[in-house]
Amino acid sequence: MPVDERAALQRDRLRGLVDRLLATGGVQGARLKEAGVGGGSDVAPADLHRLPFTTKRDLWDHYPFGMLAVPRDQVAAVHGSSGTRGRPTLVAYTRADLDLWAAMCARSLSCAGAAPGSIVHNAYGYGLFTGGIGVHQGAVALGATVVPMSGGMTARQVRMLADLRPDILTCTPAYALRLGEAAAEAGVELDALRAGLFGAEPWSEGLRGAIERVLPIKAMDIYGLSEIIGPGVATECLEQDGLHVNEDHFIVEAVDPASGEPVADGTPGELVFTTPTKQALPLLRYRTGDIASLDRRACPCGRTLVRMSKVIGRADDMIVVRGVNVYPSEVERALLATGLVAPHYQLVVDRRGPSARLLVACEALTGDPRAELTRALHEALGFTAEVFPLPGGTVPRVEVGKAVRVVTWDEGDPPLPGLA
Ligand code: DLL
């Protein structure tokens, strides 16, 4: 779509959203009134940065149904996070929202090279988590054949991959690696696979390389969050150079996480989304906590949708070790760039003593890589992390759900054998 045409669409849709929020009279409507907004005609996309934010706290405070913008009986489904990293969040969808979600996931699948007739092996978890059902509905809407594997039971997954010969694989990046290794161990060749859409957790270019070495595919990044809709908010095209944001439905901004002020394109900031077309849970300027930069330059693929970089980390995932801010993905990038370790690692923040230590548990490919890894990490992070090469298979592999990259050691035995 030409950029001007989409800007006009965004303007009209944003005005409609503001009118709906004001009419609903919930927390978002009240904040708009306080900000002096009397109706949709008062706002334009260029003024978006002056409007109030919405946060996860609002969802918690109004859990489960307090932020609905439609009567409860129009809610066709709910999804959410289990709350392993905090309190549970619940999001609601009308039938129209489910159709929008399916369309956005279909668009994402096709952006990554899937087409009607594709076979999509979907190993995202099904259930309250949005990954499985979101991608499933997208594959159906695209006219593909979906294999609803969900996560786990890796031997069975390998069997289905061998028997059904899918061309598209969808799962978390950590599980893609696990599946590739398990297929190789079982002597199964996955020569029909062409592309994968991996997301739900941060991953680096190094991990992309590792996945593309164990699987005969192009590995693409797919981003989303339950609050906005689930997967299908943004996806990489075959250029593998940034994720196209479906900004006709999800208007994106990047802001300074501390001040909340907009940052320039190309500068990492916290992603903030507005959902002008969602019905059950429309959100105005929702703060994601995810750090990435935006790129409005034309993409060789021809899509005019703004691109976001891979997510660098979450504002709340940042580890602070001796005053230095570290995102797990920076450690991943530095580790894998050495080519000396397998792409399985875990960061242990030892908080038992007066000053925190960062322990990096990894698996060496050959020899003792400690000196070189310590040097590479020092160069990347600016302080000394302690490297622990452990025997192959010691670092936990993820089978279900999201990879746990960081654990804290507060007291007692080390979280992994071999650490000290
Ligand atoms: O993880 C939605 C999803 C499912 C996206 C499947 C892609 C594929 P939530 O469980 O609500 O939803 O978690 C959302 O996960 O705020 C990010 O911190 C993180 N996340 C999601 N996708 C990516 C990605 C799904 N591609 C939270 N890269 C988000 C980095 C991601 N982080």
Residue located via tokens 């077309």: 277
Q: Kindly state the average pLDDT of the residues 47-64.
A: 95
Cβ–ligand 1 distance for 180 under 6 Å, the answer no
Percent of the chain with pLDDT over 90: 88
Å from CA of 243 to ligand 1 middle: 13
pLDDT tens, residue by residue, 217-229:
999 999 999 999 9
In this prediction, residues 81-99 reach a mean pLDDT of: 84
Q: Is the pLDDT of residue 1 over 90?
A: yes
Substitution site in 172, 201, 211 for ligand 1 pocket (most atoms within 8 Å of beta carbon): 201
Pick the residue whose CA is nearest to atom 13 on ligand 1.
Answer: 225
- Give pLDDT tens digits for 174-188: 999 999 999 999 999
Residue 232 CB–ligand 1 contact under 6 Å: no
pLDDT at 85 over 80: no
* Residue 164 contacts residue 121 (beta carbons within 8 Å): yes
CB of 223 sitting under 6 A from ligand 1: yes
Domains, the chain, ranges and CATH? 93-314 (3.40.50.12780), 319-409 (3.30.300.30)
Query: 121-142: string of b/e by CB count within 10 Å (b at 16+)?
Result: bbbbbbebbbbbbbbbbbbebb
Q: In the chain, what's the furthest Cα-to-Cα distance?
A: 68
Dump pLDDT digits (tens) for 370-380. Answer: 999 999 999 99
Of residues 238 and 354, which shows the higher confidence score? 238
Which among 81, 45, 52 has a CA at the least distance from the CA of 64? 81
User: In the predicted model, what is the mean pLDDT of residues 192-212?
Assistant: 96
Span 107-126, average pLDDT: 97
Per-residue pLDDT, 323: 79
As a whole number, mean pLDDT of residues 315-340 equals 86
pLDDT for residue 4: 96
- The pick from 290, 310, 318 for probing ligand 1's pocket by mutation, whose C-beta has the most ligand atoms within 8 angstroms, reads 290
Asked if residue 83 has pLDDT above 70, the reply is no
Q: How confident is the model at residue 82 (pLDDT cuts 50, 70, 90)?
A: low
